[in-house]
Amino acid sequence: MAATAAPESAGVKTARSQPTSDSILAAILSSLDDDKAEDVVKIDLRGRSEMGDWMVIATGRSSRQVASIAEKLTDRLKQDQGVHSKVEGKESGDWVLIDTGDVIVHVFRPEVREFYQLEKMWAPAGRSTVTGN
């Protein structure tokens, strides 16, 4: 009787389990920390909004850093979590919105973040400061 090859060795890809919003959040926070995002805030939206479970707000020091943070984050989420994100605003680098479905990420330049003050709008939902670089 011939031995059968394991699916991985036969070139067959096994299905990846669907990541949870908490595992996506952890990956996002790790990526933002790796890329030196500043003033990272996570806001718990569970039970308060249909748009997602979490919102993360972070600041980059320049348009170039904001765009770089967003690009690296979406690449890491795709590679490590299998998450394909929708991205808006990367070209300008002032405010990049990354929608993973369960977690919404906003990366701002400092002046733009101060102007929109999303934390104030969502503070009752459960704000939690992650870093204060």
State pLDDT tens for residues 91-117.
999 999 999 999 999 999 999 999 999
Confidence at 10, pLDDT banded by 50, 70, 90: very low
In a domain, 47, yes or no: yes
For residue 50, what pLDDT is reported?
87
Q: Which domain holds residue 35?
A: 21-129
Which long-range contacts does 60-65 make (Cβ < 8 Å, 24+ apart)? 60/93, 60/107, 60/108, 60/109, 61/109, 61/110, 62/93, 62/109, 63/92, 63/93, 63/94, 63/109, 64/93, 65/35, 65/36
For residue 14, what pLDDT is reported?
46
In a domain, 2, yes or no: no
Determine the Cα–Cα distance for residues 79 and 1; give it in Å rounded to an integer.
Answer: 39
- As a whole number, mean pLDDT of residues 6-22 equals 61
pTM of the model: 0.81
The CATH number assigned to the domain holding 40 equals 3.30.460.10
What mean pLDDT, rounded, does the chain reach? 86
